[in-house]
Amino acid sequence: MDKYKNTLIISLIIIISSNLSGTDEIRTQFDEAKTLDIDFNSLRIGTAEYPDGPTGCTVFYFPKGAQCAVDQRGGFSGTYMMGDGYVDAICYAGGSLLGVEASAGVAKGIFNRRESYSWYDIPVVRGAIIYDFLPRANLVYPDVTLGKAAFESAVPNKFYIGRYGAGCHASVGVGFDPKYAQWGGQGGAFRQVDNVKIAAFIVCNALGAIHGRKGEIVAGNKDRKTGETFSTAEAVERRIKTGKKLTTSSGRTTLLLIVTNLKLDHRELRSLARQVNAAMGRVIQPLAAFDDGDVTYAVSTNEVSNSNIGVTALGVLASELAWDATLSIFEE
């Protein structure tokens, strides 16, 4: 009993000390970062970090509102107001379940800008989190203050690519042995076909390895000593031959967001989210495993119509953009 009591006391001391120190500095500007410049004025993107974590959050704000649908896969997802329907903003954050607090900060920021306080002016913010506590030795997490800072820094047509925001302490390819992992991050891609705009944004903290267009491994499952890369299937076979446990590192998550200006109803949005999420199996292997918490949101700002582009074709285009967004994280 004393053993468990001492463990509890030590844990409380760590939590108290970590949350009382190291969270004063907030960073929202990243001049050194590679950026994705897009043409999507009905979307604002904000990024904020606690460098002492490091941990952070990335906010996607729709000033005129939008409609969304979500496709959740894997066994360990963490979300805030997960579901389909109206949305003012989506907040992706580190900090595991504690990081959902950042979404409340985004809602607070939106609410403070509104002149009316009626029922219809209560902000609808949806969010999802990744587990980013390892290998850092503190419990700093994205809170209300950081979420509000990310919202207040939101600007149109600019997205930071790499180890920033929600992806600043992400990793990929942890698989069956953390020593083969590499840093992840957040990535993005944008395309316009006729009057239809499509953007894909990803926070990649995947259990699986990242694969390129030719099937090659781009990140994860890499032996740092030899430089050798290998598939997750090969990793399993190696562990079988050597008699090692076939257990994985839990708490891994990929967060994906697809945004379009094409008018879509709820059924079409759900189909879009499912189609793109399923296609991500080409990029991340394995995907949607028991130890993952993969979440994909599909959002429409409902601005344009186009009878020449159906939702299935849109899903194909968005799936390719999602692949591009993932690869953008690892490009030099």
Which residues are catalytically annotated? 253
Determine the angle formed by the axes of helices 101-113 and 144-152, rounding to 10 degrees.
Answer: 50
Cis peptide before 135 (omega within 30 of 0): yes
Round to whole Å and give the CA distance between 265 and 221: 40
**By 3-state DSSP, what share of the chain in percent is helix, strand and coil, each rounded to 5?**
30, 35, 35
Cα 108 to the center of its chain, rounded Å:
21
Listing DSSP states for 296-320 in one string gives EEEEEEEEE--TT--HHHHHHHHHH
Show the beta-strand stretches assigned E in 232-316.
253-262, 284-285, 295-304
- The answer to whether the beta carbons of residues 283 and 210 sit under 8 Å apart is yes
Token pair of 7, please?
């463990």
Distances (CA, A) of 305 to 18, 129, 300: 50, 33, 11
Round to whole Å and give the CA distance between 130 and 312: 29
